């Protein structure tokens, strides 16, 4: 099997025995099953494992991927599987099996409860959702063998929740492919129109990109800074959303490709930035420093847009090799070197990194905690999409502390992000020294000062102005608690 050879080529020698054992065991258990395409079911399991191996994730996760449907679709019991593979692998298999049971249909209440249950399972071990995403990616690649209705249902779910989840975990490669695969099914006319136009411009764009790359190398080489440059095309769905957002036709979208300049240290990232600043014109307002202020999914890079001497516009990212690994593989990168050998300083260092990565996933636990305050299924799903499918903005307090918020956040969201008590006593805001309303939308670079008054308290109308889970949860909690107090007072008077 070609994919098996590909899988084994990604795996370290010491991990080969457990991967081979999982493959053999799964091959036997699923031997009588085929997919809708007519291929042996095993081909799907190996493809899912390859997706994970490409992320360079740990061998335990890859073995679990080969076994992820075994409890659901075969006669193998949990006890038998535990005896063969141990508790860690079985725990991951059980987690994915649970996720497979959550069916997402048009019933909003059922959808919300299923996602709530799913996220609770994910909180226990984030690798569960990474395996599920690898599974969904392969299913999307082979969707053509299903009925048109099933294709649309699965594509819709992938676009609105699975792709955003991949984004939230920093696995941009999967996010982009899931988006494009879903886009082709859900909006075929728009997909093929953009694809055709993109292909027509591909040759000239490639030449323009090569010219900018050569010019960049020419300016960087005298500095003796170590670097390498890679190019990346924008995904088609990303182009479509940009056309929509900016209300522009395809012909006016210039940055269809981007450049990545990869170096060895953070200091050299800024040194390269200095060379580019002095050697190129930059698009006004295009610079963002995600190294000093990383995104919530641990992404770091310097972003800027170059304008060449031939007026070619190229989005450029500057990052270290470590940042690049994290940008490519997201949170999965933190399991790549996970080894627990006592007394090994390097391994202790890696474990510390893993602990830091897992701590940064607390957003999911916080989100579930905030959502205890709402029983509204539609709101739960909308807020989940806001938390996952985010473009972040970076807003400053008057003391220059940076507050990260999702795109579309208001002054009220900012107040609650600073502190819940500041949010509860919100009277108004000054944005860049100008008075602003409670629902004023913020943008990156704004400085926001919150004005408070002790006798002001949250009202139900505030829910119309807040979009973040944190703010909405706090407002609901206040309203519920004070409603209960009022009821108790009324009862005592009687």
Q: What is the pLDDT of residues 126-174, one digit of tens each?
A: 888 899 999 999 999 999 999 999 999 899 989 887 888 888 787 888 9
| 47 in the same domain as 151 | yes
Q: Which domain holds residue 426?
A: 391-493
| 152 in the same domain as 30 | yes
- Which CATH number is 85's domain given? 1.10.3210.10
| 248 in the same domain as 208 | yes
Strands 228-233 and 257-263, how do they pair?
antiparallel
**Final residue of a structural domain among 279, 314, 329:** 329
Q: What is the pLDDT of residues 42-87, one digit of tens each?
A: 999 999 999 999 888 889 999 999 999 999 999 999 999 999 999 9
The catalytic position among 2, 54, 58, 72 is 72
Is residue 331 within 8 A of residue 272, CB to CB? The reply is no
Q: Which of 111-120, 248-257, 483-492 has the lowest mean pLDDT?
A: 483-492
Residue 345 pLDDT greater than 70, yes or no: no
pLDDT for the residue numbered 103: 57
Q: What pTM was estimated for this model as a whole? A: 0.74
Residue 338 pLDDT greater than 50, yes or no: no
pLDDT for the residue numbered 309: 79
Residue 197 pLDDT greater than 80, yes or no: yes
- Which CATH number is 295's domain given? 3.30.460.10
| 301 in the same domain as 193 | yes
**Final residue of a structural domain among 101, 135, 169:** 169
Is residue 310 within 8 A of residue 211, CB to CB? The reply is yes
Q: Is 72 a catalytic residue?
A: yes
Residue 344 pLDDT greater than 50, yes or no: no
State how far the Cα of 199 lies from the Cα of 202, in Å rounded to an integer: 5
pLDDT for the residue numbered 484: 57
Q: What is the phi-psi region of residue 312: left when phi exceeds 0, alpha when psi lies from -120 to 50, beta otherwise?
A: beta
DSSP class of residue 393 equals: E
State how far the Cα of 6 lies from the Cα of 10, in Å rounded to an integer: 7
Question: How many structural domains does the chain have?
Answer: 3
> Which band of pLDDT confidence, cut at 50, 70 and 90, is reported for residue 482?
confident
Q: 351 in a domain, yes or no? A: no
State how far the Cα of 18 lies from the Cα of 286, in Å rounded to an integer: 48
| 219 in the same domain as 288 | yes
Q: 370 in a domain, yes or no? A: no
| 148 in the same domain as 60 | yes
| 193 in the same domain as 157 | no
pLDDT for the residue numbered 377: 66
Q: 182 in a domain, yes or no? A: no
| 157 in the same domain as 26 | yes
Task: Locate all alpha helices (DSSP H) within 372-463, ordered by sequence.
Answer: 377-388, 411-418, 420-424
Where is mean pLDDT largest: 114-118, 156-160, 365-369, 376-380? 156-160
pLDDT for the residue numbered 379: 66
| 92 in the same domain as 195 | no
- Which CATH number is 415's domain given? 3.10.20.30
The catalytic position among 2, 5, 39, 73 is 73
Residue 286 pLDDT greater than 60, yes or no: yes
Q: Is 344 a catalytic residue?
A: no
| 161 in the same domain as 193 | no
pLDDT for the residue numbered 365: 67
């Amino acid at each position: 099997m070609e994919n098996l050879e590909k899988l084994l080529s990604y795996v370290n020698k010491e991990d080969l025995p457990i991967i081979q054992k999982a493959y053999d065991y799964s091959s036997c258990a699923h031997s009588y099953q085929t997919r809708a395409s007519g291929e042996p079911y095993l081909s799907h399991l190996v493809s899912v494992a390859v997706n994970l191996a490409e992320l360079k994730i740990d061998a335990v996760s890859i073995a679990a991927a080969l076994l992820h449907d075994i409890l659901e679709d075969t006669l193998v019991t949990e006890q038998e599987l535990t005896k063969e593979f141990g508790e860690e692998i079985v725990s991951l298999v059980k987690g994915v099996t649970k996720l497979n049971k959550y069916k997402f249909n048009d019933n909003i209440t059922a959808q919300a409860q299923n996602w709530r249950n799913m996220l609770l399972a994910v909180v226990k071990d984030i690798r569960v959702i990474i395996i599920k995403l690898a599974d969904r990616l392969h299913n999307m690649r082979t969707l053509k063998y299903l009925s048109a209705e099933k294709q649309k249902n699965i594509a819709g779910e992938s676009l609105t929740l699975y792709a955003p989840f991949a984004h939230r975990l920093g696995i941009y490669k999967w996010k982009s492919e899931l988006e494009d695969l879903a886009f082709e099914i859900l909006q075929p006319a728009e997909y093929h129109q953009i694809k055709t136009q993109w292909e027509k411009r591909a040759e000239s764009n490639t030449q323009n990109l090569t010219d900018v790359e050569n010019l960049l190398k020419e300016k960087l080489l005298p500095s003796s800074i170590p670097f390498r440059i890679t190019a990346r095309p924008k995904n088609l769905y990303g182009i479509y959303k940009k056309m929509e957002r900016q209300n522009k036709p395809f012909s006016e979208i210039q940055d269809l490709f981007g450049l990545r300049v990869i170096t060895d240290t953070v200091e050299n990232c800024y040194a390269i930035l200095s060379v580019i600043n002095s050697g190129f014109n930059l698009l006004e307002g295009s610079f963002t420093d995600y190294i000093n202020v990383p995104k919530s999914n641990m992404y770091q890079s310097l972003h800027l847009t170059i304008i060449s001497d031939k007026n070619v516009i190229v989005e450029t990212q500057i990052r270290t090799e470590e940042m690049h690994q994290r940008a490519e593989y997201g949170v999965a990168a933190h399991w790549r070197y996970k080894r627990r050998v006592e007394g090994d300083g390097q391994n202790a260092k890696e474990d510390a990194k893993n602990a830091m990565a897992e701590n940064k996933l607390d957003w999911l636990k916080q989100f579930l905690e905030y959502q205890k305050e709402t029983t509204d299924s539609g709101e739960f799903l909308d807020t989940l999409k806001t938390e996952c499918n985010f473009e972040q903005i970076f807003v400053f307090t008057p003391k220059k502390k940076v507050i990260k918020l999702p795109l579309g956040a208001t002054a009220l969201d900012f107040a609650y992000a600073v502190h819940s008590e500041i949010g509860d006593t919100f009277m108004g805001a000054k944005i860049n020294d100008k008075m602003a309303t409670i629902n004023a939308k913020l943008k990156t670079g704004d400085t926001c000062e919150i004005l408070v008054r002790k006798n002001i308290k949250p009202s139900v109308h505030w829910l119309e102005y807040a979009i973040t889970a944190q703010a909405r949860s706090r407002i609901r909690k206040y309203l519920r608690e004070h409603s209960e107090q009022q009821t108790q007072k009324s009862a005592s008077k009687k």
